[in-house]
Structure 1
Amino acid sequence: MAIVRPFKAVRPVRELAAKVAALPYDVMNSDEAREMVQENKYSFLHVDKAEINLEPSVDIYDEAVYKKAKEVLDSMEEDRVFVQDNEACLYIYKQTMNGRSQVGLVSCVSIDDYINDVIKKHEFTRPDKEQDRINHVDYCDANTGPIFLTYRDNENISFIINSCIKKNPDCEFISEDGVGHIVWKIDDKRTIDSLSEYFNRVDYLYIADGHHRAASAVKVGLMRREEVKDVSGEEEFNFFLAVLFPESHLKIMDYNRVVKDLNGLKNDEFLDRVSEKFYINPQEKGQKYKPEQKHVFGMFLDGQWFKLEAKKDSFNSEDPVKSLDVSILQDNLLSPILGIKDPRSDKRIDFVGGIRGLEELEKRASTDMKVAFSMYPTSMDEVMNIADEGEVMPPKSTWFEPKLRSGLFIHKLR
């Protein structure tokens, strides 16, 4: 029984929405963010990555960064870049990328649903990343970036949402990367109540992306409960911002790997070790290889692509985690051969989203890295099944596109 709750969103005025909307804070570093906002004073990165407003020498976790985020957000509200809706509403957010659309419901969800596993997770979080967003939410007194949630397809919910998007939108624009964005506001109480009722019959919601933001939002909510006497449960800090998409709308892209060296091995020694667990099929020079099915991998080494097919004895097909391609590669190659024991912390490995293409893997393996691996994408069924089992996926298992833009919806905690 999932709770979705309308809220009085703080939103950019229509004519500035395209300039305000920004990619999530964690898909670029500070230098890249500074470059991106050079000619855009309205970009929400000025709030979400507030260190870009300070000298580069300032540590990104310094208290000054969070104070600056609050200062910039307040200033943008005072200048009426943002305005708050007068009534609690739900919203619809449609994104279109390369001809494919995903349509989600923007609402607040319950921190208790998160605590009680009505909202299911599939990743571990890192304390340092959690603390960063805890500070950001706490100082801003707001959820500034939505959590990307999904749910199993529901025809009643889809019918209502499809009816709503036939009306004129509140705002519509195409971002600099060619992704289309459209927002509708749902202010009709009967429609809001119907959607809330149907979601109340949904057994589970699943975090697709945004585990650190979700965990941080929940912890700030719990902090507020400690600070406030006689909590009723209806206070805004008991809820956090999310966009909920039906599973059939989502596309997971491959999340590829590049490694710095061969762990002291020569090329032929490395290939011999790999052949113990994988069938190796060298591709002709100049021919790229992108996996077309599960348990098959591409490998780029010294200017040549290889097709790697996992041998059946290299994994347990009955184990939902161990049978993931990211696990098979980690358990049979990255860890035992290349010495990458902890991919979360090892500096010799890096991860490349599939949107960058095989060319980026070739570039990396020919410059700052030695070998690259192209992956077959994890499926939504795998993500949801692992979450249902209470298991955790290996790091960097999923890459969702398009990314939700920050700044289009802000949820105030008071």
Structure 2
Amino acid sequence: MANIIPFKAVRPTRDKVSLVAARSYQSYTLEQRESRLRDNPFSFLHIVNPGYKFDKQISGEARYNLVRNRFLEFKEDSIFVQDTKPCYYIYQITDRDHQVFNGIVAAASAEDYENDVIKKHEDTIEFREVVFKDYLKTVGFNAEPVLLTYPDNAVIAQIIAEVQKERSEYEFTTTYRDTHLLWKVDNDTQIQKIAQEFQHMKRVYIADGHHRSSSSYLLYKDLKENNPQHTGMEPYNFFMSYLIPESDLKIHEFNRVIKDLNGLSKEELLIQLDMMYRIENRGQTPYHPSKKHHFSMYLDGEFYSLYLRKASYTIETSLDALDAQILYKTILQPILGIKDLRNDSRIGYINGKKDIVSMKSAIDSGNYSVGFGMVPIFMEEMKTIADDGFKMPPKSTFIEPKLRCGVTIYEF
């Protein structure tokens, strides 16, 4: 039974939402961040990058406290207002390729996360969990929802369609040509129906945001243990989520790039790979695999195709069949010496929405020595791995939609 509840969002005023809304901080280049901070005083980037005001890089606890201060200033200046009643928020995104995503922004239960009602399919990087937990504890809010997915539901779909007949609270288009619309659901009957439909679901799945959900869970544990009056209804018992039906998800892969060859020469690496893969040199023409258990590799200015030798690899579980796991078990761990995917700084990730040339550029720049590409997984594959109790390696999926930060904010 999934406990998905309405909440009182802190939100930008209608006239400023397009100015406030921002992508995740890391997705901007330095030049893009500078431009937005310089030219847009309402950007949410001013909150998450408070050092800009002082022309100084600030980190750690000092930065967290300043983030809190900037957030409070936005509230004091009435850039942000808070709804007086707990609501659900229907959020629609239409991307530049005309794909439409419809979902509900709500508060999901940390206890459901603990009890595996909210299913996890991907492993996380430990230090990121702890850092973000400490950040949340200081700033006291969450501005970027975790993306959850649920089985397509006719009742919820009907309510969404009904609400969307009314004028939206927000409508804005980004410079990336994504159009965002938001409706507030404050009708008691509709709120009750939505809550009941989620309560009938035995499980929902994390699609994107494993680190954010894990950090919110760690925060819940900390605050619960240190609150003798804990009731289970405090805001820290929940975390902001965007829930969309499974049919709306768009799944891409994450390609891997490695900083060195673990002391091997190019020829030695190829010889070791030959034990598990049939290798073909594709030259300088960009190559992307077309089916499961096939990989692309970029090394020393050339692309290679790697075809898994099925007789050399045993598949016993759903996790064993996952390409990211095969890559780890046959190449990254035994040959390149990357044992701890959660914490090893030698590995980097490039999302598959970018073309394979992005991986080539990262290696040609000298920052990395070799890269591996794969095909994206299917939704059923992801669910099966989660249901079987396994965790995929970190960064096994890059999933859309991607929401903007600062459109709805959850305080705790």
What is the TM-score normalised by the length of structure 1? 0.91
Q: 2:340, 2:219 → 1: CA distance?
A: 29
Partner residue, 1:275: 274
Q: 1:258, 1:342 → 2: CA distance?
A: 15
Q: How does 1:102-251 map to 2 (within 5 A)?
A: 102-251=101-250
**AA paired with 1:392?**
K
Q: For the Cα contact (< 8 Å) 2:145–2:241, is it kept in 1?
A: yes
Cα shift readout 1:95-128 (whole Å, capped 9, x = no counterpart): 2222212211111112211121111222344443
**AA paired with 1:342?**
D
1:133 deviation in Å?
Answer: 2.2
Structure 1 window deviating more from structure 2 (96-105 vs 72-81): it is 96-105
Structure 1 window deviating more from structure 2 (128-137 vs 95-104): it is 128-137
Partner residue, 2:12: 12
Q: 1:105 to 1:57 in 2, by over 3 A?
A: closer
Q: 1:132, 1:53 → 2: CA distance?
A: 23
1:29 deviation in Å?
Answer: 8.2
Q: 1:158, 1:292 → 2: CA distance?
A: 34
**AA paired with 1:135?**
D
Cα shift readout 1:50-79 (whole Å, capped 9, x = no counterpart): 455555553x22x21111011000000111
* 1:292 equivalenced with 2:290 (yes/no): yes
What is the TM-score normalised by the length of structure 2? 0.92
**AA paired with 1:216?**
S
SS of the aligned residue for 1:265 comes to coil
**AA paired with 1:39?**
D
Q: For the Cα contact (< 8 Å) 2:118–2:204, is it kept in 1?
A: yes
**AA paired with 1:310?**
L
* 1:42 equivalenced with 2:42 (yes/no): yes
Q: 2:265, 2:215 → 1: CA distance?
A: 45
**AA paired with 1:315?**
Y
Partner residue, 1:75: 73
Structure 1 stretches of at least 4 aligned residues deviating more than 6 Å after TM superposition: 29-32
Partner residue, 2:325: 327
Q: For the Cα contact (< 8 Å) 1:262–1:338, is it kept in 2?
A: yes
Q: 1:235, 1:260 → 2: CA distance?
A: 45
Q: 1:53, 1:38 → 2: CA distance?
A: 10
SS of the aligned residue for 2:85 comes to coil
Q: 1:381, 1:366 → 2: CA distance?
A: 36
The alignment of Structure 1 onto Structure 2 pairs a total of residues equal to 410
Q: 1:232 to 1:329 in 2, by over 3 A?
A: closer
Partner residue, 1:317: 315
1:19 deviation in Å?
Answer: 1.8
Q: 2:223, 2:317 → 1: CA distance?
A: 40
Structure 1 window deviating more from structure 2 (33-42 vs 401-410): it is 33-42
Structure 1 window deviating more from structure 2 (372-381 vs 160-169): it is 160-169
1:412 deviation in Å?
Answer: 2.0
Q: For the Cα contact (< 8 Å) 1:322–1:328, is it kept in 2?
A: yes
Q: For the Cα contact (< 8 Å) 1:106–1:242, is it kept in 2?
A: yes
Partner residue, 2:380: 381
1:277 deviation in Å?
Answer: 0.9
1:31 deviation in Å?
Answer: 8.4
Q: 1:107, 1:249 → 2: CA distance?
A: 17
Q: For the Cα contact (< 8 Å) 2:125–2:343, is it kept in 1?
A: no
SS of the aligned residue for 2:39 comes to coil
SS of the aligned residue for 2:198 comes to helix
* 1:354 equivalenced with 2:335 (yes/no): no
Q: For the Cα contact (< 8 Å) 1:143–1:217, is it kept in 2?
A: no
Structure 1 window deviating more from structure 2 (124-133 vs 352-361): it is 124-133
SS of the aligned residue for 1:356 comes to coil
Q: For the Cα contact (< 8 Å) 2:124–2:342, is it kept in 1?
A: no
* 2:89 counterpart (79, 88, 91): 91
Q: 2:332, 2:25 → 1: CA distance?
A: 29
